[in-house]
Amino acid sequence: MTVMEPVDWRAALPWPAIDAHKHARGRLGVVSGKATQTGAARLAARAGLRIGAGVVTIFCPPDATAVIAPAIEAIMLTPFGSDEALAEAAAELDAMVIGPAAGVNDATQANVRAIAGTGAAMVVDADGLTAFEGWPEDLFEVLDRDDVLTPHEGEFRRLFPGLLDQDREAAAVNAARRAGAVVVLKGAATIIAAPDGRRSVNGNGSRWLATAGSGDVLAGMIGGLMAQRMDSFEAARAAVWMHAEAAQAFGPGLIAEDLPDRIPTVLAALYSQIG
Amino acid sequence: MTVMEPVDWRAALPWPAIDAHKHARGRLGVVSGKATQTGAARLAARAGLRIGAGVVTIFCPPDATAVIAPAIEAIMLTPFGSDEALAEAAAELDAMVIGPAAGVNDATQANVRAIAGTGAAMVVDADGLTAFEGWPEDLFEVLDRDDVLTPHEGEFRRLFPGLLDQDREAAAVNAARRAGAVVVLKGAATIIAAPDGRRSVNGNGSRWLATAGSGDVLAGMIGGLMAQRMDSFEAARAAVWMHAEAAQAFGPGLIAEDLPDRIPTVLAALYSQIG
Amino acid sequence: MTVMEPVDWRAALPWPAIDAHKHARGRLGVVSGKATQTGAARLAARAGLRIGAGVVTIFCPPDATAVIAPAIEAIMLTPFGSDEALAEAAAELDAMVIGPAAGVNDATQANVRAIAGTGAAMVVDADGLTAFEGWPEDLFEVLDRDDVLTPHEGEFRRLFPGLLDQDREAAAVNAARRAGAVVVLKGAATIIAAPDGRRSVNGNGSRWLATAGSGDVLAGMIGGLMAQRMDSFEAARAAVWMHAEAAQAFGPGLIAEDLPDRIPTVLAALYSQIG
Amino acid sequence: MTVMEPVDWRAALPWPAIDAHKHARGRLGVVSGKATQTGAARLAARAGLRIGAGVVTIFCPPDATAVIAPAIEAIMLTPFGSDEALAEAAAELDAMVIGPAAGVNDATQANVRAIAGTGAAMVVDADGLTAFEGWPEDLFEVLDRDDVLTPHEGEFRRLFPGLLDQDREAAAVNAARRAGAVVVLKGAATIIAAPDGRRSVNGNGSRWLATAGSGDVLAGMIGGLMAQRMDSFEAARAAVWMHAEAAQAFGPGLIAEDLPDRIPTVLAALYSQIG
């Protein structure tokens, strides 16, 4: 597997047309965890907004409303009380991120299934993956080839027991086929694999990304590109590279809050390269 | 219609006198939406303060108080419980922005009418426009030639059905006459038209403005200039240009939160040009 | 009256000793207004901390606690339920600021009197002044020569009816004598006058200071210097100049929130000048 | 005692491996005070995250949840209702900071003892020290040589009455032996002493650190390095130096909130020196 370069996906990046408006540019949703655990969703949402989704909405349990509302401005907020309500609220979205700090429980499972039933492409991360430990087929059967799973190795083992006995590249490729979705196996050399056999390994991984919340930002970045109708495999490739590029430019002392506000610099460099 | 340049409105920009005090410099109000939707008003208010209104107050439903209060410092906050209370609270203002995340409902209609009855010049944006879909004459009859409507094309069609069958410039000019107010028809080339026939097309439109909340910032900027007693047509022209200038200077990755804090740079350049 | 220069008060500026600790460096209190009006106190407190008070505490009505607590980190918070409780809480302070958004009412009067009975030097601003309209002697009789009043012209007229029939300099000098405290008569050329006859006029006034909250920041800066045991007249002179210097360096688009974080630059320049 | 230089501890600094993940990089906990006094814990937590702990959790009294939750993103939050619950929650941690604004009371004593019973190395600061005034042996008997005490001179006298009759270096060395833990005696020339006799005096102390909250930041920095399994004596030495370096680079006007975001610059310089 060859190491990917920006040239591999740069032409697929979405840029707003001169006459774009925010809704045309793409609508992203992010599902928040409970009231004490909303930071992950806020990180993902801000990353999705920064990377170009025109409208970003956080969907939260009703008791988390008071926590999130004072902390957002351009990001919108919709409380939901059940998986049915979530599905209904999500009906107009282009993409949805679920998993960061969502909780490992039945409600998260139900929420993933509810979103899968809408037209929104889905990024499933963190607790959204672990909630299906022991029942991975329940997840796979609702996934679409435009959906993306973003496990680190621990989460990967829970969904794909045994696959990491092979090398990481083969494991990711097989996982994508099995899940019927794009798989992003995170690590020093993150693997991105699509169910149609496309695969890529990232070469600019940064040690500084080993910090709480950096995965939430990545999920938001992928979702933000998908909301702009970028092909999911390409979105994952681009986001993984940009995420690491932002981290590496920052260097020691990076925390996840730094990442969303570094996206403009990375985007500007890529934008200048497309002439 | 010729494309406007800063020289067209630069001399009309308000600058504080050396012995100005905050109240003399102009008082702006912004009406907030409900507790989950206060970010739009906060963006508009900060933009209005940045562009020079001396005192800016957010008027909010009582249950939004706890959300807004921790997020503001120089901006003031007044809860209101009815349209009558809003009108009373607004009596001392020079200008008022209503519409961003206000809600498409009878209360917003009533609030618009209440403000129209005060001496404050009014910017009606977003939900403040859509609330009158089907009854545009109810809006037009309370407007004054110093008021400003800031529709994007979707909102424009709701208030002026059929007018966009013409070209955009003619549509805006006719809409301003019909409404008896300044109309800002937003888009890649925003049109600004006054009821007395003045019209202008903006030439520095930025694709990066296609992001949630950028319209709220524009409404606040227009209101902030009007609060300083700038002529409403000139205020709209100046704000549209400055808003795009700030966005274009930022480039890819712009979110609406970036815009208010970019106003000083744009203002400083204009201030240096007036000698 | 000659226009003051930094050289007039620069040698009196307090700098921490190499072995200073926070309590030795000075303790400042700021009285907050009610829950919807806490921003003024937060601005004043941050300004006081920035200018060198070692410990800064906001004293607030109990229902304002939930608003202020999430917005502060290094600043401390003490709720108080009565003027007696305020006096007790303030007993350990070196200086106290009261008035910004305090409310024009009997409680503010009582709070001013309560603080006057402690050993803390007091800055009385805004509502703390207006609360004594009609009864200025009630204020003057509790003031000490180390206390500072910071009226703009409107507030000055409420406390010293008729004095502004003279020129501003003479008015301030007479007001200081009458009040038995330092008077800072704010304006394009702010006058600082002490009860012992010292007086000064500031020469670097900035038009950009005509923005909501800038007076709160000034009150906090004066209080912050007084907490460090700088002579009150000198503290007022230094703070007025530094406040304007920070504003002028920022230029168009200034809002009060910008000012506290500009104090370090102004301080650093002054520190470098003392060798 | 010779003055320490970065070369003395630089090689012991932890850096993430290229394939590190956040949990491997170290888990830090910080115990918050009550609802009105959470800022100290937030400062310490952010400092610990900035200096490289992979996961940082604030443990707070249940009524402080609503205050802290809106103010954090990457930092996690766990309410606890008793010392037993705290010990259970802390079981997975590598290091824990307790004391900043914790309250001088029996609960703080109980919480210190509860943490001491877990495998987490502990930094005891501020109220965590003063809570044992009169009963210092109750603290010493639960300490481990990997724990760190960070008293200023006042707190030192409460725990080690009479020791400061000697010179400061000897006092710290004897205190470390008596406590069976690392002692950081803060001051212009901070002394770091280990129970095995190692000792060091810091030479880059900054006068600008005499500001509220700077001690909280230092405690978080020490804890953040300890969470990364740096030897506690070395962690204390490194953190004391970096803390002062950040302050000195900032200069006049420093407040504690500035410090965590200055850690990256200090870290980057050290990282570049290790080649």
Find, among D152, D105, D144, D157, the residue nearest to D125 by Cα. D152
Cβ within 8 Å, pair B37-A76 = yes
Would you say how long chain B is, in residues?
275
Selected residue of D13, D18, D19, D21 to mutate for chain A interface (largest A Cβ count, 10 A): D21
The string of pLDDT tens digits covering residues D183-193 is: 999 999 999 99
Q: Residues of chain B whose C-beta is under 8 A from some C-beta in A?
A: 35-40, 42-43, 66-68, 70-71, 152-153, 187-188, 205, 207-208, 210-214, 250-257
Flag whether the ipTM exceeds 0.90.
Answer: yes
pLDDT band at A274 (very low <50, low <70, confident <90, very high): confident
Which residues of chain A neighbour B152 with C-beta distances below 8 Å?
Answer: 21
Burial of D120 (0-12, 13-18, 19+ CB in 10 A): buried
Residues of D in contact with A42 (CB under 8 A): 73
Tell me how close the Cα of B43 comes to any Cα of chain A, in angstroms.
7
Helices D263-273, D232-250: inter-axial angle, 10-degree rounding: 120
Cα of B91 vs its chain's centroid, Å? 18
In terms of C-beta density within 10 A (0-12 exposed, 13-18 middle, 19 or more buried), how is residue A120 classed?
Answer: buried
Asked if D76 and A43 come within 8 Å (Cβ–Cβ), the reply is: no
Q: Give pLDDT tens digits for B94-125.
A: 999 999 999 999 999 999 999 999 999 999 99
Question: Rounded to whole angstroms, how far apart are CA atoms D230 and D238?
Answer: 10
Which pLDDT tens digit goes with each residue over B46-71?
999 999 999 999 999 999 999 999 99
The chain C residue lying nearest B70, using CA atoms, is C67
What is the predicted pLDDT for the residue at C2?
Answer: 79
Dig out the tokens for A231 from the structure: 């092909």
**From C254, which residue of chain B is nearest by alpha-carbon distance?**
B50
A37:D263 CB<8 A: no
pLDDT bin (cut points 50, 70, 90) of residue C43 is very high
Residues of chain B contacting A270 with CB distance shorter than 8 Å: 252
* Chains in contact with A, counting 3 or more C-beta pairs less than 8 Å apart as contact: B, D
Q: What is the mean pLDDT of residues B161-184?
A: 97
> Cβ contact (<8 Å) for C65 and D35?
yes
* Average pLDDT over all residues of chain B: 96
What are the strands of the beta sheet with C55-60, ordered from one edge? C76-79, C55-60, C27-31, C95-98, C121-124, C148-149, C182-185, C191-193, C199-201
pLDDT of residue C275: 62
Please check the confidence at residue B90 and state whether its pLDDT lies above 90. Answer: no
pLDDT at A1 over 80: no
Indicate the Cα dihedral angle A85, A88, A89, A90, nearest 10°.
120
Alpha-helix runs per DSSP H in chain B? 22-25, 39-50, 65-68, 83-89, 106-116, 127-130, 136-140, 153-159, 168-179, 214-227, 232-250, 263-273
- Do B176 and B160 meet the contact criterion of CB atoms below 8 Å apart? no
Query: Is C271 in contact with D254 (Cβ distance < 8 A)?
Result: no
- Residue in chain B lying closest to A65 (CA): B36
Q: How far is it, in rounded angstroms, from Cα C162 to Cα D191?
A: 62
Segment A91-109 shows an average pLDDT of: 97
- The rounded distance, in Å, linking the Cα atoms of A62 and C239 is 47
Which residue of chain A has the CA closest to D24? A210
> Which of B208, B211, B218, B248 should be substituted to probe chain A, the one whose Cβ sees the most A Cβ atoms within 10 Å?
B211
Q: What is the pLDDT of residue D120?
A: 96
* Closest-CA distance of chain A to residue B8, Å: 24
Contact A49 B214 (CB under 8 A): no
Contact D66 A67 (CB under 8 A): yes
Candidates D38, D207, D257; nearest CB to C20: D207
Question: Would the pLDDT of C101 be above 90?
Answer: yes
Percentage of chain B surpassing pLDDT 90? 95
Residue C235, token pair as written in the block:
């503290």
Q: How far apart are CA C106 and CA C128, in angstroms?
A: 10
The token pair that represents C226 in the structure block: 């007084």
Q: Which residue is it, tokens 């800072």?
A: C184
User: Would you write out chain D's pLDDT as a tens digit for each of its 275 residues?
Assistant: 679 999 999 999 999 998 888 999 999 999 999 999 999 999 999 999 999 999 999 999 999 999 999 999 999 999 999 999 999 988 899 999 999 999 999 999 999 999 999 999 999 999 999 999 999 999 999 999 999 999 999 999 999 999 999 899 999 999 999 999 999 999 999 999 999 999 999 999 999 999 999 999 999 999 999 999 999 999 999 999 999 999 999 999 999 999 999 999 999 999 999 86
The β-bridge relationship of strands A148-149 and A199-201 is: unpaired
Q: Evaluate the CA torsion angle B76, B78, B83, B88 in order and state its sign.
A: negative
Specify the pLDDT at position B275.
62
Closest CA to A124 of A103, A149, A141: A149
Average pLDDT over residues A125-140: 97
pLDDT digits (tens, 9 = 90+) for C214-254: 999 999 999 999 999 999 999 999 999 999 999 999 999 99
Q: Taking a C-beta distance cutoff of 8 angstroms, is the pair A47, A220 a contact?
A: yes
Confidence at residue A135, expressed as pLDDT on a 0 to 100 scale: 95
pLDDT over 90 for what percent of chain A?
Answer: 95
Whether pLDDT at C55 is above 90: yes
pLDDT for D2? 79
* C97, containing H or E segment: strand C95-98
Q: Which residues contact D269 (CB under 8 A, 6 or more apart)?
A: none
Q: Hey, which residues does C192 pair with through a beta bridge?
A: C184, C200
According to DSSP, residue B4 is labeled: P
Residue C274 confidence (pLDDT):
83
